[in-house]
């Protein structure tokens, strides 16, 4: 257990190349119960690009040294220094060989970083800085080495021994055996992986565009073998897509994925040997929701795409993390759009960005996409690095056009193959190919915060004028902001809802590139128009425009752009909800005003049920709360519930028929069928919110005879969230049925932890004491604490909620600081809370901070520093 942290800040401005490079690594990992012995042989060579030095620092955390040998000479204790996680050697020649033998204890590793155990198998997680928990090494991404790894373990209990690359030798020694793997591609140590276990394998193959055959092997616990087909399909689709879209081919002869139950993140792109959280690779209609299926497809693709954007071309330092993550998220988003529905994919991605990354960028955790400093890099695997980073790549894609962007990425991959580079190197390629000056554009990487774009328009004597003013509010450590390049895709809708011609050529959509704090554009159009702005969400900004209700109805009904339709619906909901929060209206009146517009959406739901479901979904209580300062979560909850109930009543016959008519008789897993299930679950939710007597019957029928987990869980959710008769029994039945399925039980926990209302905090208290709750399994911890703090504000923001949450943070921090820090982010709204709650919560958080790990301490420090 870590004790109160000493904050050490690392700065981008201090970057220095390493004094020595490691050309090759020979690892021998000897796994025995209780202690694993790691022998490593590093071939060191003085770095020609660094200042000449005969000293070198190696990272190593918690390693018990058995011996250190430099160029054949065993080092005595006085000949090296090992403290604070660093091994310092001096007197190194131009070339040197360091052999270290160390002991580690993976069985005791609950932080799940380095080598650890999950359900009886050994596995690793090295990004960002886990390798230093395995052996001494310059644990930084700009040291690329060839790895040859031998894994040894008991034959019977660990029949499968895996590492990166290709198996080149194997043997037996009595009860034990060993396998040697060789990875021909030099890689940073964060991409190292090892697995030892007894696993089932689904095998298939893929022929690459140049005709090479690649063996695809997906491993999971034996009981989960039937849940690997979807991941395999997704992997093959991703491989094909990357060849067709980017001309990128897979490079090794084997591609492996291993599913593990204990995992801090979603998955990890280790070279040739991805390690996945079970939640991101296992899928079966009976146990996995439709959203789960989509997540598996996108994460499998994401990790695969990293083979080029991340592995072949990697990051020079961790400040450049978005170089690989932002780009790879953009790639997986485009892939998912191609596999499914473009419009739905985009709205889902924007919804996620706006509701999760924007608040991050507007609160105490705000940081640039390329941060200037950090204490723990683990805390920077954020929505800003990933999702905003992807938007920045997307803007470049649109600025260059598909063809130009492809040329630029070809240049990027070819020029930097096998190197560790920077975000600037990436943008340089864009600039070089397009000839466009990207100087100002680069501010997106260095400037934190969400820009606010205020728009006003007027009808002029000769047409229509529209004015844009941009400003970015200050963020911690960055008071002054400069104007950004903001591409605004625009159309003007006439009274019939059709886009009008913007000029003589008949152009009906254009992209305005904003560069200044204020800019006005004129269009020679006649008659009143409704501006359709930021089409496709062309830039990650908050758009302020005083739309009239009629204009929003026009956009929602007619706009051909999926994002603009969704955004119009959100504005209509927010306007109604804001009035209720401020006590300025009655829910019934707001619902009556919304009803005709929503009826139109329902009428057209058959065209694209998933899109209809998105349009009919109210903004969350959290999103509503973010519009009101000081934040009183109880008042927000009341307003939100009132509108939902009123909409439930106002459109009850619609909800009833959607709930009943969308019932399928046969299981289908395509996008349309998934959209129908989503819409039906939503309709049933509204029906229950409106107190309709049929809601419980329909939910129970669905729950009793579901075709798939989306139906079963959707029905359970409605029963539990609306506290309908039969809810308790359904929960019991569900737990009994799925007790052996950890991922399904995660859903059982989270459906209860997310039930809106203060009383849920008592439920959460019971869940934490439930025999199936396990503090050491991140998925389980997230399914209760992450869900409570991240999506149930009315239960979380209570005295009891704060106490329970802070006590839990302490417990988690003692086991797994990365998970504690991640969950602690949910406290980032502290400074917006009304004074009573704020005071209680602040003092509890201060109490935790006093003894927090360095991970948790960095997050709490930032949150508590804000006033
Ligand atoms: N690159 C990994 C993230 C690992 C984070 C470790 N703290 C997953 C991904 O983005 O693909
Ligand atoms: Zn990634």
Residue 1 has pLDDT above 70, yes or no: no
Contact in structure between 219 and 256 (CB atoms under 8 Å): yes
**Residue 325 CA: which ligand 1 atom is closest?**
10
Q: How far is CA 710 from the centre of its chain?
A: 22
Nearest CA to ligand 1 atom 4: 127
For ligand 1, atom 3, which residue shows the shortest CA distance?
268
Q: Which of 238, 269, 818 to mutate to test the pocket of ligand 1 (most atoms within 8 A of CB)?
A: 269
User: Which ligand number lies closest to the CA of residue 267?
Assistant: 1
What is the CA(564)–ligand 2 centre distance, in A?
28
pLDDT for the residue 7? 82
Q: Which of these, 257, 262, 261, lies nearest to 274 by C-alpha position?
A: 257
Handedness of CA 434, 482, 484, 445 (dihedral sign): positive
Closest ligand relative to 128 C-alpha = 1
Ligand 1, atom nearest to 378 Cα: 7
Q: Does domain 743-867 have CATH number 1.25.50.10?
A: yes
* Nearest CA residue ID for atom 6, ligand 1: 127
Domain boundaries, the chain: 452-545, 743-867
CA neighbor of 656 nearest in space, from 628, 634, 633, 687: 687
- By most ligand atoms within 8 Å of CB, the mutation choice from 111, 113, 125, 127 for ligand 1 is 127
Dist. CA 703–CA 822, nearest whole Å = 34
Residue 3: what pLDDT? 43
The pair of structure tokens assigned to 659 is: 């709930």
In 3D space, the residue among 482, 479, 483, 499 whose CA is nearest the CA of residue 491 turns out to be: 499
Burial label for 479, CB within 10 Å (0-12, 13-18, 19+), is exposed
Nearest ligand to the C-alpha atom of residue 382: 1
Predicted confidence (pLDDT) per residue in 510-550, tens digit: 999 999 999 999 999 998 999 999 999 999 999 999 999 99
Closest ligand to Cα 331: 2
Task: Share the mean pLDDT of the chain.
Answer: 97
**CB neighbours (10 Å) of residue 215?**
14
Residues 6+ apart with CB under 8 A from 570: 619
Distance 283 CA to ligand 1 centre (A): 21
Nearest atom in ligand 1 to the alpha carbon of residue 269 is 11
Mutate to test the pocket of ligand 1, among 112, 264, 267 (most ligand atoms within 8 A of CB): 267
User: Relative to the alpha carbon of 822, which ligand is closest?
Assistant: 1
CA separation for the pair 760, 766 (Å, rounded): 10
Find the mean pLDDT for residues 107-119: 98
Q: How far is the CA of 23 from the centre of ligand 2 (A)?
A: 26
pLDDT of residue 2: 40
Q: How far is the CA of 378 from the centre of ligand 1 (A)?
A: 9
Ligand 1 cavity residues, CB under 6 Å: 127-128, 265, 267-269, 302-303, 306, 325, 378, 381
Which residue's alpha carbon is nearest to atom 5 within ligand 1? 127
In eight-state DSSP terms, residue 190 is G
CA gap 70, 483 in Å, rounded? 54
Three-class secondary structure of residue 832 per DSSP: helix
- The confidence score (pLDDT) of residue 332 equals 98
Which residue's CA lies nearest to atom 7 of ligand 1?
378
Determine what percent of the chain is predicted with pLDDT higher than 70: 99
243 as an active site residue: the answer is no
State which ligand 1 atom lies nearest to the alpha carbon of 818.
7
443 three-class SS: helix
Average of pLDDT values for 294-314?
99
Q: What is the pLDDT of residues 645-657, one digit of tens each?
A: 999 999 999 999 9
CB 638 within 8 A of CB 650: no
Quick one: which of 49, 2, 1, 44 has its CA closest to 23? 44
How far the first Cα of the chain sits from its last, in Å, is 31
Q: Indicate which atom in ligand 1 lies nearest the CA of residue 127.
A: 6
Ligand 1, atom 8, residue with closest C-alpha = 268
- 3-state SS, one letter per residue, for 194-249: EEEECCEEEEEEEECCCCCEEEEEEEECHHHHHHCHHHHHHHHHHHHHHHHHHCCC
Supply the residue whose CA is at minimum distance from atom 1 of ligand 1: 268
Residue of the nearest CA to atom 9 in ligand 1?
A: 268
Q: What's the pLDDT at 5?
A: 57
Choose, from 221, 297, 303, 590, the residue flagged as catalytic.
Answer: 303
- Give alpha helix (H) positions in 742-797: 742-753, 760-769, 778-781, 787-791, 793-796
Q: Which of 6-10, 357-361, 463-467, 669-673 has the lowest mean pLDDT?
A: 6-10
Query: What's the pLDDT band for 866 if we cut at 50, 70, 90?
Result: low
Q: How far apart are CA 492 and CA 500, in angstroms?
A: 6
Q: How far is residue 158's CA from residue 322's CA, in Å, rounded to a whole number? A: 37
**How far does residue 358's CA lie from ligand 2's centre (Å)?**
20
Residue nearest to atom 2 of ligand 1 (CA): 268
What is the number of the ligand 1 atom nearest to the C-alpha of 125?
6
Query: What DSSP character marks residue 631?
Result: B
Taking the centre of ligand 2 as the mean of its atom positions, its distance from the CA of residue 113, in whole angstroms, is 17
233-256 pLDDT, tens digit each: 999 999 999 999 999 999 999 999
Can you read off the two tokens belonging to residue 691? 């107190």
CB 232 within 8 A of CB 218: yes
- What is the distance between the alpha carbons of residues 254 and 213, in angstroms, rounded to a whole number? 9
**Distance of CA 270 from the midpoint of ligand 2 (Å):** 11
Q: Is the pLDDT of residue 670 over 70?
A: yes
Q: With 80 as the cut, is the pLDDT of residue 358 above it?
A: yes
486-493 β-sheet, strand order: 510-514, 486-493, 530-533
Give the C-alpha distances (Å, rounded to integers) separating 666 from 65, 626, 679, 743, 770. Answer: 61, 42, 17, 24, 36
Q: Which atom of ligand 1 is nearest to the CA of 299?
A: 11
H helix count then E strand count, the chain: 29, 31
Hey, whose CA ends up nearest to atom 10 of ligand 1? Answer: 325
User: Top-level CATH class of 452-545?
Assistant: mainly beta
d(CA 406, ligand 1 centre) in Å:
25
Ligand nearest to the CA of 277: 1
- How far is ligand 2, taken at its centre, from the CA of residue 325, in Å? 5
> DSSP character for 620?
P
Return d(Cα 502, Cα 510) in angstroms, integer.
8
Question: How confident is the model over 631-648, as a mean pLDDT?
Answer: 98
Mean pLDDT of 428-434: 98
What would the DSSP string read from start to end of 65-95? EEEEEETTEEPPGGG-EEETTEEEE----SE
Tens of pLDDT, residue by residue over 48-99, are 999 999 999 999 999 999 999 999 999 999 999 999 999 999 999 999 999 9
**Is residue 666 a contact partner of residue 707, using CB atoms and an 8 Å limit?**
yes
| Segment 703-733, tens digit of pLDDT | 999 999 999 999 999 999 999 999 999 999 9
* Residue in 129, 260, 268 to alter for ligand 1 test, most ligand atoms within 8 A of Cβ: 268
Query: Is the distance from CB of 277 to CB of 777 less than 8 angstroms?
Result: no
Q: What is the pLDDT of residues 16-54, one digit of tens each?
A: 999 999 999 999 999 999 999 999 999 999 999 999 999
**How many Å apart are CA 517 and CA 526, to the nearest integer?**
28
Q: How far is the CA of 549 from the centre of ligand 2 (A)?
A: 41
């Amino acid at each position: 257990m870590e004790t109160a942290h000493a904050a050490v800040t690392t700065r981008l401005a201090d970057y220095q190349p390493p004094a020595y490079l490691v050309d090759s690594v020979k690892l021998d990992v000897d796994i025995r119960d209780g202690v694993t012995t790691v022998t490593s042989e590093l071939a060191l060579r003085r770095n020609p690009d660094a200042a000449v030095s005969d000293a070198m620092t190696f990272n190593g955390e918690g390693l018990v040294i058995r011996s250190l040998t430099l160029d054949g000479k065993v080092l005595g204790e006085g000949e090296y220094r090992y403290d604070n996680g660093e091994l310092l050697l001096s007197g190194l020649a131009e070339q040197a060989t360091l052999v270290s033998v160390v002991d580690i204890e993976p069985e005791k590793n609950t932080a799940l970083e380095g080598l650890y155990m999950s359900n009886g198998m050994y596995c690793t997680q090295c990004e960002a800085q886990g390798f230093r928990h395995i052996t001494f090494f310059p644990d930084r991404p700009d040291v690329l080495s060839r790895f040859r790894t031998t894994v040894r373990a008991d034959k019977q209990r660990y029949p499968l021994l895996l590492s990166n690359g290709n198996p080149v030798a194997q043997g037996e020694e009595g009860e034990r055996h060993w396998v040697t793997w060789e990875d021909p591609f030099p890689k940073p140590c964060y991409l190292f992986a090892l697995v030892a276990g007894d696993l089932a394998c689904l095998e298939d193959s893929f022929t690459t565009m140049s005709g090479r055959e690649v063996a695809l092997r997906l491993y999971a616990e034996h009981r989960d073998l039937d849940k690997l087909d979807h991941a395999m399909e997704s992997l093959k689709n991703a491989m094909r897509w990357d060849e067709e879209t980017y001309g990128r081919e897979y490079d090794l002869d084997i591609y492996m994925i291993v599913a593990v139950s204990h995992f801090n993140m979603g998955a990890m792109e280790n070279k040739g040997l991805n390690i996945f959280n079970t939640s991101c690779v296992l899928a079966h209609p009976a146990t996995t929701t439709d959203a789960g299926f989509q997540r598996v497809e996108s994460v499998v693709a994401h990790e695969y795409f990293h083979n080029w954007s991340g592995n072949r071309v990697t990051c020079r330092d961790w400040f450049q993390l978005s170089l690989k993550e932002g780009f790879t998220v953009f790639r997986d988003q485009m892939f998912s759009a191609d596999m499914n529905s473009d419009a739905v994919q985009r709205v889902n991605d924007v919804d996620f960005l706006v509701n999760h990354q924007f608040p991050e960028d507007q609160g105490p955790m705000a940081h640039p996409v390329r941060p200037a400093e950090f204490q723990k890099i683990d805390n920077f695997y954020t929505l800003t690095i990933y999702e905003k980073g992807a938007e920045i790549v997307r803007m470049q894609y649109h600025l260059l056009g598909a063809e130009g962007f492809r040329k630029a990425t070809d240049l990027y991959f070819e020029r930097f193959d096998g190197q560790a580079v920077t975000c600037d190197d990436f943008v340089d390629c864009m600039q070089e190919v397009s000839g466009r000056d990207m100087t100002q554009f680069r501010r997106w990487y260095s400037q934190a915060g969400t820009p606010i774009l205020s728009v006003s328009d007027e009808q002029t004597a000769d047409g229509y004028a529209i004015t844009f003013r941009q400003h970015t509010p200050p963020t911690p450590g960055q008071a002054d902001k400069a104007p950004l390049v903001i591409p605004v895709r625009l159309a003007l809708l006439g009274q019939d809802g059709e886009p009008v011609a913007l000029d003589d050529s008949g152009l009906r959509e254009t992209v305005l590139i904003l560069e200044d704090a204020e800019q006005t554009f004129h269009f020679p159009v006649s008659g009143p128009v409704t501006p359709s702005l930021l089409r496709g969400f062309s830039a990650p900004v908050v758009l302020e425009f005083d739309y009239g209700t009629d204009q929003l109805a026009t956009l929602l009904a007619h706009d051909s752009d999926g994002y603009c339709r969704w955004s119009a619906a959100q504005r209509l909901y927010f306007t109604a909800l804001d009035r209720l929060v401020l006590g300025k209206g009655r829910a019934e009146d707001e619902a009556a005003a919304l009803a005709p517009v929503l009826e139109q959406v329902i009428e057209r739901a058959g065209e694209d049920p998933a899109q209809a479901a998105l349009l009919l979904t109210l903004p969350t209580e959290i999103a509503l709360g973010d519009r009101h300062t000081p934040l009183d979560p109880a008042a927000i909850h009341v307003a939100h519930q009132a509108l939902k109930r009123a909409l439930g009543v106002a459109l009850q016959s619609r909800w009833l028929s959607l709930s009943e008519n969308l019932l399928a008789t046969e299981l289908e897993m395509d996008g349309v069928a998934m959209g129908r299930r989503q819409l039906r679950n939503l309709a049933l939710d509204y029906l229950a919110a409106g107190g309709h007597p049929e809601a419980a019957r329909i939910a129970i029928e669905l729950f009793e005879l579901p075709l798939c987990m989306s139906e079963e869980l959707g029905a359970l959710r409605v029963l539990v969230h609306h506290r309908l008769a039969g809810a308790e029994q359904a929960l019991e039945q569900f737990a009994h049925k799925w007790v052996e399925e950890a991922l399904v039980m995660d859903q059982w926990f989270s459906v209860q932890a997310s039930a809106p209302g203060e009383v849920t905090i008592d439920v959460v208290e019971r869940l934490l004491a439930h025999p199936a709750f396990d503090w050491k399994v991140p998925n389980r911890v997230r399914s209760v604490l992450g869900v409570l703090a991240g999506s149930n504000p009315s239960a979380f923001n209570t005295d009891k909620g704060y106490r329970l949450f802070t006590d839990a943070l302490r417990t988690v921090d003692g086991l797994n600081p990365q998970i504690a820090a991640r969950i602690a982010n949910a406290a980032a709204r502290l400074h917006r809370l009304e004074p009573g709650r704020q005071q209680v919560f602040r003092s509890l958080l201060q109490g935790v901070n006093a003894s927090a790990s360095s991970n948790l301490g960095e997050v709490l420090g930032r949150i508590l520093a804000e006033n």
